[in-house]
Structure 1
């Protein structure tokens, strides 16, 4: 039995050109494939690569666009033969990994190269608004969602050389924001002990209540797969689980949502309602300059705290060395009970004769008999 070969996928720049040639927006193409607009944007930029059934649907759609527009715009669109030749030439070899930000910046001329602050601001402007809405689906708290995204980007700015060279900087920041948002220590903070006002729409309230009742791993997997639009292997990698465990969590999460809300048993309807629930909330992220300044202040604070702790440790060590004994002093052995000694008795009252004898002895001691002195003859 032979396996049907997978439909080849054109390069990233060809994907965008074919979509524009077919007069489709990113939102329209995302709706046909069943993913989010951010996922289509990542596919066209080369940051991520589609896999599985979505890859097949995406490749079939691009090939149909190329077949339909091949004879209408010969000057702008390659014909079907050229597309197949390009795809077949790349089908035998593994697809090259997406360009890292550092590699893309290094290919630019020196006068147009972005500074670290400019690159961070561009990443923040691209990811922060959507990431705040995603984090709201995980926590149900608007202020905690904004705080989680800010903390994640502050951590990213502190480790910017590592984040800039990462294969997926947006995924790095998203994982950090999700980890902070789902931390169980928030329940002990006074500002997060009381629930926030729910959404105004009744269906949105029911959906948010179902999401918050899910265990955190299932909730995170559901948001990543059906909300963000990641593939199952990518979802498993970001949640640090195996593909089978991620699929199991996704199945249980969908079952729980469908049991409470039967209208969302279809994954496409669930994806649409998650996007609508996240977009109904007016959630705005802080400016990137505020996040960078906060990250630098936090770094200075912890640096000073580490210096103060080191100085205190050195002072304590010096004081210990100064006051420590210089010679060995054997310990005092513990006391033991001595047996065979008669108990100490207190004297009782004296009788009349004993008192007379005592007085007589005292007088004789003061003026006793004269001593006899020997005489020398």
Structure 2
């Protein structure tokens, strides 16, 4: 296995001579040791890098010679994170960004132009819908939304100008599971790119490229960090498809800092074991919630009652760490529950070892229209929990205060 970085003026890639397991790649992939031979990954806190002479500087700027230039677009610590994440997704390359939303923006700026159309799943993170409608729309990129779980709906909604299919699976917050392979086949039949937001699963539970996706989006802020410490994002895919995203980042600069990249790299080392524990706790909580009289409906792919349970078992290696549920009594009941907890954190972030609780209607999806909320199935009684790694009985007892 190669442990050194590629030409940093190009996109970093992972090239193995033999296949390693995900747990090993999460700890070893992409490491480049300095002349000091450090065991843990080094942190390069520098804005720029020095060339030996003018000719070398010119060669590095043009990409003729490998070498680091400026940390807006080349940094050894960021390269290590990119290589490691690409290896976990089974991809050729990755480009890291300052946040998950900047990763989506960089993807769109790299691959879309005025007049293009995005076809997206209706049940998505509210900020993604805002980005597509309010910001890309200002520059002539249109978007429309369909039922993520119905491949026929995607086929029916394609336009001649559709260039990109964008899908969250599982979706935020209802954990809808979409058939990646079936929707990718529709996208490719119409010469469109298929993009999957893999935030809820992470590569530890799902690898969309293996099911036909062209590109994968990550908010590394979530499970990849896993402890609520730093922001980060990434776009993962083939070298050819990552290159225009990288060129946008090089020019515009929504860059992942070296420090954040170092934290996220260390987060990847425990990703596999953390995700197993998140899944175990989430399934136990979902089963417990189904038995509570105050709960009207529970949304969790690991439950047999979930409408895409069988698909989730084929496509994912676990149900994930997010459980959503609707309470009888609407918003009043939801807010009463959220206000009653003493252990859980009232925050819209997810993917943390600490369990978090939020009211999607007024937080994560608060800025989208009531019509868009209704189309996405976001009702006022809905509560979303990102199940952490506390003891499950303590989580249940805390929720029981408000139930």
What TM-score, normalized to structure 2? 0.22
Query: Larger helix proportion, structure 1 or 2?
Result: 1
What TM-score, normalized to structure 1? 0.23
* Larger gyration radius, structure 1 or structure 2: 1
